[in-house]
């Protein structure tokens, strides 16, 4: 298979590229994560978002624990080819590990405080219950 599409990406010195997950239909930015070559190849092949977890130092199949997978409808790169944009369908309506629809739930107010502007849809302890 031709991998010229992967060669076009400007990978960081650590072999990673930032990836933004955008909700199909609404345009809402759900989250940002990191991808390496393997995760991007797996995303394309499987049709489900696969990221590189820097904290765990391993591939992370979105929804592997929570069930909140992201079905990928399009993969794009920006004009500089150093950011990936995934157009996704968010399964379960929750993209954030905090139990919210997206990870961008804090907004800076005029006083300079971060204010939570989105509710928790499901308690994270219920999402990530350990058996």
R_g of the chain, CA atoms, integer Å: 16
Write down the residue that tokens 């909140």 correspond to.
Answer: 68
4-93 folds as Ubiquitin-like (UB roll) (3.10.20)
Residues contacting 119, CB < 8 A, separation 6+: 100
Domain positions in the chain:
4-93
Cβ atoms of residues 54 and 120 within 8 Å: no
18: burial class by Cβ within 10 Å (0-12, 13-18, 19+)?
middle
- Give pTM, 2 decimals: 0.92
Q: How confident is the model at residue 129 (pLDDT cuts 50, 70, 90)?
A: confident
| pLDDT tens per residue across span 26-83 | 999 999 999 999 999 999 999 999 999 999 999 999 999 899 999 999 999 999 999 9
pLDDT digits 0-9 by tens, 77-117: 999 999 999 999 999 999 999 999 999 999 999 999 999 99
């Amino acid at each position: 298979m031709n991998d010229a599409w992967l060669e076009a990406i400007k990978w960081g010195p650590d072999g990673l590229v930032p990836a933004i997950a955008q909700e199909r239909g609404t345009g809402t930015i759900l989250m940002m994560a990191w991808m390496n070559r393997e995760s991007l190849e797996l995303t394309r092949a499987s049709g489900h978002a696969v990221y590189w977890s820097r904290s765990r130092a391993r591939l992370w199949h979105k929804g592997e624990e929570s069930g909140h997978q992201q079905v990928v409808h399009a993969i794009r790169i920006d004009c500089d080819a150093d950011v990936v944009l995934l157009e996704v369908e968010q399964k379960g309506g929750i993209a954030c590990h905090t139990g919210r629809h997206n990870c961008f739930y804090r907004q800076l107010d005029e006083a300079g405080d971060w204010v939570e502007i989105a509710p928790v849809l499901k308690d994270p302890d219920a999402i990530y219950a350990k058996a």
